[in-house]
Amino acid sequence: MKFIKLLFLLAVISICGQTNTASQTPAYNFPKLKSSITMPVTIPLSEISNMINASVKELIYQDDSYTDNNNDQFKVKVWKTRPIRLVGGTNQNILIEVPLKIWAEKGIGTLGLYTYQNTTFETVMSFNTSISLKNNWTILTQTRPNGFRWVTKPVLDFGKIEIPITSLVEKSLVEQQKKFCTTIDQQMAGQLNFQNYAVMAWNVFANPFQISEEYNTWLKITPINVQVTPLQFYANQINTSLGIDIYSETFTGNKPMPSEVVKSASDFAFAASLANQFLLQTTANIPFTEATAIARNMFLNKEYDIRGSSVKIKDIKVYGEDNRVMIEAETEGYVNGTAFISGVPVYDDSKKKIVLSETKFRLKTSNILQKTATLLFRGRIVKMIEEEYGIPTQDLENSSRRSIEEAFNKEYYKGLKMSGKVFILQPGKILMNPSGITVVIDTKATLKLIVNGI
């Protein structure tokens, strides 16, 4: 059962869906983001049934001695006739039915002289297994006998005499049923121990992942804690939900140092319930080279009328200064000089663009007479920048949505199927870094993990 390992893999897959358009830049560490993922998990009882059936051999019990059990002159063999059947109860329990074929031989006589007769009959043995998940990733089970249901009762036919041996058979089966309870508990505890998988998953992410060779970008995932809701039992499946808190860190330049390898997984916390939707935060970097290219495509060599005269933008570039985006435009015509327009980058949902707010303006010109035109020029160029300039995010949003949904709808291991959908994806907080603009992308989504066919 490998689904715990996949939980942490999910965190990496989701974050790896982020867009990184940075050019080759000096090393820079992007913000350390805390995200949370909620994932309902469905385990069909058929999976546990397959595990139990694989561990229980066809021949369940065999007594080949006439003289044991106080010389009972009785032999018996017990086989499993069909797959063991599991049904979910209502109190964190599973009802187990084991169909059996039994061969029995009984000796009738005294003083060492016996006549033997055998018979074959069928019964269904029932068990009640309670299951609980301990916060150290192990499963605790307690299996109890739940009686028999005879399909055909055992009778020995000695011609004129028919001897029912139900009591003899039941006595033997009761003892074996108690032993079989221990076998079921041992098998389930061994097969459903998730501690090893949790350790493996945790250590998979000890080493950062290179998510962009072209831009030498690395992603480091650090799980913080896990919450698990109580197991819920239905007719054909077990449901639970897991919530994972993680830190994601993006690095450019040299590969960051790996995290320390753990030898045991930390205990998780129980939660009464977890929300169906979750919020995942990723980052995308827009370098100033790209922001400059957008500005040049929009404004370079364009002329604008001001009081019957014109101003032409000869050159333009975008960079950062004091946590603001600075647009530097060289102009000629009505105003010869360099205009500096700075602003705080914010996301405009209606335009699907990152635009400038709280703009400031200053003009550098060698012609003192032109300074009288500053107010007219300022009004025109600031309005132009505020209304026209913006960094489009629609492609970024669409590509991020596609990559995340692709990651959410895959079978990464045989029998472990994920199904998810993104409901809301949009840029949120805008941060400045030395080489560009970092966009924190907020994603609301649902995700489900189905264990089937392992």
CA torsion 356-359-363-364 (nearest 10°) is -60
Full pLDDT tens readout for the chain, 454 residues: 333 333 333 333 333 333 343 334 445 556 777 878 788 888 888 877 887 787 777 887 788 877 777 777 778 888 888 988 888 887 778 888 989 898 888 777 777 777 777 888 898 989 999 988 888 888 888 999 998 888 888 787 767 777 777 777 777 778 878 888 887 888 777 767 667 666 766 676 667 766 656 556 677 777 788 888 888 888 788 888 888 888 877 776 678 888 788 788 788 899 888 888 888 777 777 889 889 999 999 889 988 887 777 888 999 999 999 889 999 999 888 788 898 999 999 999 888 899 999 999 888 876 655 556 667 777 778 888 888 888 888 877 887 787 778 777 877 666 667 788 888 888 888 988 888 888 888 888 888 877 666 5
pLDDT at 277: 82
Query: Cα-Cα-Cα-Cα dihedral of 361, 364, 367, 373, to 10°?
Result: -10
- Six token digits for residue 241: 């939900």
Whole-angstrom Cα distance, residue 219 to residue 252? Answer: 9
Measured distance CA(11)–CA(16) in Å, rounded: 8
Structure tokens at 254: 């040299």
Cβ atoms of 353 and 259 closer than 8 Å: no
Is residue 85 within a helix (H) or strand (E), and if so which, with residue range?
Answer: strand 85-88
Q: How far apart are CA 27 and CA 75, in angstroms?
A: 78
From the list 433, 446, 324, 336, the residue with the least C-alpha distance to 20 is 433
Cα–Cα distance measured from residue 324 to residue 406, given in angstroms and rounded to the nearest whole number: 35
Please identify which residue in the block is written with the tokens 């300039």.
389
Q: Give the global pTM.
A: 0.64
**79 Cβ contact list (under 8 Å, min separation 6):** 58, 59, 60, 100, 101, 102
Residue 343 is predicted with a pLDDT of 92
Q: Provide the residue type at 194 as one letter.
A: F
pLDDT at 435: 85
444 and 277 in contact (C-beta within 8 Å)? yes
- Closest CA relative to residue 40, chosen from 453, 450, 454: 450
Q: Report the DSSP pairing between strands 209-212 and 217-228.
A: antiparallel
Cα separation, 424 vs 445, in Å, equals: 7
Hey, is 394 helix, strand or coil? helix
Residues near 167 by beta carbon (within 8 Å), at least 6 away in sequence: none
The owner of tokens 């101003």 is 311
Q: Domain residues of the chain, as ranges?
A: 46-191
